[in-house]
Structure 1
Amino acid sequence: MMKYFYSLFFLAVALTESTSAQTIDSLDIKIGQMILIGFPKGDVDAEVLREVKQGKVGSIIIFEKNIPAKNSFVALKKITWTYQQAAPIPLFICIDQEGGRVNRLKDKYGFPRSITAAAMAKASTLDSVRFYSEATASTLAGLGINVNFAPVVDLASNPDNPIIAKFGRAFSANEDSVALMAKEVIKQHRKYGVITSLKHFPGHGSSKADTHLGIADVTNTWEERELKPYQLLIDSGYADAIMTSHIVNKKLDKNGNPGTLSVDILTGILRKRLHFSGVVFTDDMQMQAITKHYGFEQAIKLAIQGGVDIMTFSNNISGSDERTVNKVHSIIRSLVEKGDISQARINESFKRIMLLKKRLGENSVEANDKQTVEKLQIALNKTEADLATAKEELKSKSDELAKVQESLAQTEPKKKKKKKKRSED
């Protein structure tokens, strides 16, 4: 199976290198990889399965509504397995499993208990972060979920923030502490081959409003230090992917576009200034910060032009129009055909997505098991070498002891002879 996936990866990446050989089919596949959708219930949806098979969807997302109430682990595993097996290119199967309030896999379904980032940060050591993150990551891996939209690296800079600090979603108000704890979350996920996505770029912690409900303008509250966790994690190689925020910051975007739709923020700051070359996911394109202020086609165009790679359409937000895959797909294709978006721009995203998906193979249980065996073999070899050294040292000591004993044995008769002679005298 892994060899099959690898061949698909190499074929897919090769498509981006030969633009002269573009076909309608290849463009459709590339566009499909840029679309992430939700599905309606706790069962495989026939329409979504068909779209996955056709390559019109590259990622799906799990919400609580998708978790079967009975025998939840096995039933959800069957759902993810069915979608994954149907995909011509391996799917990103995503979830928001931060812990605490943002927690799809609740303990009432038999999943491990989780706590908020703020609660984890209260411990005097990083053990709490490690423990809960490993419990989450191992559970996700077992379920076939390979992308967690976590950790949150927003700062708890505004304690009255209605969507971040209020729910304990931030580790700390201190940027260095946030980066330190986020790195531990990522380490535990990587142990189990689960990709993480930092959020919400360029920082949602200082907002006074909820982007689910409308515009959140942070122009006068946002601080430069909100970028520091991203910079630290990118520089140290711990940024697998990044999720955008719909916040408005007119100091960062001269046109006042939300971060998700901003070329100044995504290309100017994230790509060029912070040198992030990986995959950028959007927060949900159906949040009202987007839908109330931008037309559907305009929002898609601005997102792609800005530097987004994968757009999220969850069909999970109350009051939002349902966005069908065909509609999203046809809009993107039309934008390419009209020249509003270049095929080169689509290729950029496709290549980034394929490179990240290639890591699904490299980070698989099979690969991790191989790494574990290799580490154990190294440890065993070292132990055997140590034992051999100890054996040589023991032999050397034994030889020395034998010589001493032999010397003593030769000396003893002489002593007895001398003693006998003195007694005769």
Structure 2
Amino acid sequence: MINVLNLSASQNPIDDETLKKMIGKMLIIGFEDEYIDENSKIVSLINRYELGGVILFDRFYNDKTKIKNISSAKQLKQLTLKLQSFAKKPLLISVDQEGGRVARLKPKYGFEATPSAKAVSQNDEYMSKHIYNALAKTLRQNGINCNFAPVVDLALNPNNKVIYGLNRSYGAASSEVIKYAKIFMDSLENEGVVSVLKHFPGHGSSLGDSHEGYVDISKTWSEAELEPYRELIKSSKVPMIMSAHVYNSKLDEKYPATLSYNVNTKLLRQELGFKGILVSDDLQMKAILSHYSLEEIVALSINSGVDMLLFANQLTTQDIDALVDVIFQEIKNGNIPMDRIEESNARIEQLYKTYKFK
């Protein structure tokens, strides 16, 4: 067995407990509770591993009648306050609050409705700022400090059900996508909420849904889909980007984007100059889970350049103790170099400092 000490770029000894907490910091996980206390499973996981973050959903994926984490503003505020009070280290509390069809804070729970990206793009900049300022304020007031938005996929394929069909794109022109995404990002930043551009390197031309299975965009993807990332990275502070579970033989002949070093390090970091945190899309989607073992998923994604692994526990349930142990063993076995763990932890710490998370 390889000694962790010899894997550390800093050459400082890292004991097993510390290493597991470094792994924990790289995880964003979903859980089932609407209310929590000191005896809740999620609280024990937050404390044991100093988890990097959680993701909240209003309903269960397979049973929309059943409340998961969000039922009202009062309940949500209580939940987020308790999560932060139990966390010894900064905790990202995230949601998918794009607007339109993808919104966890819904009017039926007492929250103000936010229009879809397509609807927002039909407004002028003044009105768009008003819309997103209101949304950002709502997130902050309810204890959400990370929003998996905006979507910067281009609306290129009318047959695309997950982006085009749900009105999640600002349009086919990268200039329009960049303009409205920037407004959204600025509103979030002004309220201390982390924005997350998605889905890199572009999901707008796809035909399939990565929730359901393998998505090959090799014949439909174009370089234009990189433009929003290129311009926003160049002109703005982009704290986080989410990878897409799409396969593109033009970029990597073997792996989908989330698991691809060519996509996540060579393209995103080296060519486009991204210095923030790369978070995976949900690693329990069938596009990934049906084709790779858990060992392969964690090793390939981390080695490709992913800093935070999302296990939403919506499509299936992942035991987090087992997950941490798998990553721990992959590091011990030399399949994940220690410097990747340290690199990701450093990026996460920088995010905490930038947003003054305590």
TM-score w.r.t. structure 2 length? 0.92
Alignment correspondent of 2:301: 303
Alignment correspondent of 2:64: none
Tell me if the contact between 1:106 and 1:113 (Cα under 8 Å) persists in the aligned partners.
yes
- The reply on whether 1:40 has 2:39 as its aligned counterpart is no
Unpaired segments ≥5 residues, structure 2: 1-7, 60-67
Question: Structure 1 counterpart of 2:338, which letter?
Answer: Q
Alignment correspondent of 1:416: none
Task: Say which SS state the counterpart of residue 339 (structure 1) adopts.
Answer: coil
Alignment correspondent of 1:264: 262
Task: Say which SS state the counterpart of residue 21 (structure 1) adopts.
Answer: coil
Alignment correspondent of 1:155: 154
Across the aligned residues of Structure 1 and Structure 2, the Cα RMSD in angstroms comes to 1.5
For 1:50, which of 27, 44, 47 is the aligned residue?
44
Question: In structure 1, what is the Cα distance between the partners aligned to 2:307 and 2:127?
Answer: 33
Unpaired segments ≥5 residues, structure 1: 1-15, 365-425
Q: Shift in Å at residue 19 of structure 1?
A: 3.7
Paired residues in the alignment total 341
CA deviations over 1:313-370 (Å, ceiling 9, x no partner): 11112xx3x10111110011001100011111100000001101222317x9xxxxxx
Question: In structure 2, what is the Cα distance between the partners aligned to 1:178 and 1:170?
Answer: 7
Alignment correspondent of 2:112: 112
Relative to structure 1, is the Cα distance of residues 146 and 19 closer, same or farther in structure 2, using a 3 angstrom cutoff? farther
Identify the structure with the greater helix proportion.
1
- The reply on whether 1:135 has 2:129 as its aligned counterpart is no
Tell me if the contact between 1:146 and 1:360 (Cα under 8 Å) persists in the aligned partners.
no
Q: Shift in Å at residue 21 of structure 1?
A: 3.1
For 2:335, which of 340, 352, 356 is the aligned residue?
340
Task: Say which SS state the counterpart of residue 36 (structure 1) adopts.
Answer: strand
Question: Structure 1 counterpart of 2:171, which letter?
Answer: S
Question: Structure 1 counterpart of 2:88, which letter?
Answer: P
Q: Shift in Å at residue 22 of structure 1?
A: 1.8
Alignment correspondent of 1:29: 21
Tell me if the contact between 2:26 and 2:52 (Cα under 8 Å) persists in the aligned partners.
yes
Question: Structure 2 counterpart of 1:51, which letter?
Answer: L
**Structure of higher CA gyration radius:** 1
- The reply on whether 1:360 has 2:355 as its aligned counterpart is yes
Tell me if the contact between 1:56 and 1:329 (Cα under 8 Å) persists in the aligned partners.
no
Q: Shift in Å at residue 20 of structure 1?
A: 1.5
Question: Structure 2 counterpart of 1:28, which letter?
Answer: K
User: Taking CA–CA contacts closer than 8 Å with sequence separation of 6 or more, which of the two structures ends up with the larger relative contact order?
Assistant: 2
Q: Shift in Å at residue 56 of structure 1?
A: 4.5
Question: In structure 2, what is the Cα distance between the partners aligned to 1:73 and 1:242?
Answer: 28
Relative to structure 1, is the Cα distance of residues 196 and 230 closer, same or farther in structure 2, using a 3 angstrom cutoff? same
Question: In structure 2, what is the Cα distance between the partners aligned to 1:275 and 1:360?
Answer: 21
Q: Which moved more, 1:187-196 or 1:125-134?
A: 125-134
Question: Structure 2 counterpart of 1:267, which letter?
Answer: T
Tell me if the contact between 1:57 and 1:325 (Cα under 8 Å) persists in the aligned partners.
no
Q: Shift in Å at residue 18 of structure 1?
A: 4.5
Question: In structure 1, what is the Cα distance between the partners aligned to 2:189 and 2:259?
Answer: 30
Tell me if the contact between 1:55 and 1:88 (Cα under 8 Å) persists in the aligned partners.
no
Q: Tell me the percent identity.
A: 39
Task: Say which SS state the counterpart of residue 178 (structure 1) adopts.
Answer: helix
Alignment correspondent of 2:77: 77
TM-score w.r.t. structure 1 length? 0.78
Tell me if the contact between 1:216 and 1:247 (Cα under 8 Å) persists in the aligned partners.
yes
Question: In structure 1, what is the Cα distance between the partners aligned to 2:166 and 2:126?
Answer: 22
CA deviations over 1:131-165 (Å, ceiling 9, x no partner): 22111110110111100000000000112211000
Alignment correspondent of 1:198: 197
Q: Shift in Å at residue 236 of structure 1?
A: 1.0
Hey, which bits of structure 1, 4+ residues long, moved more than 6 A? none
Question: Structure 1 counterpart of 2:53, which letter?
Answer: S
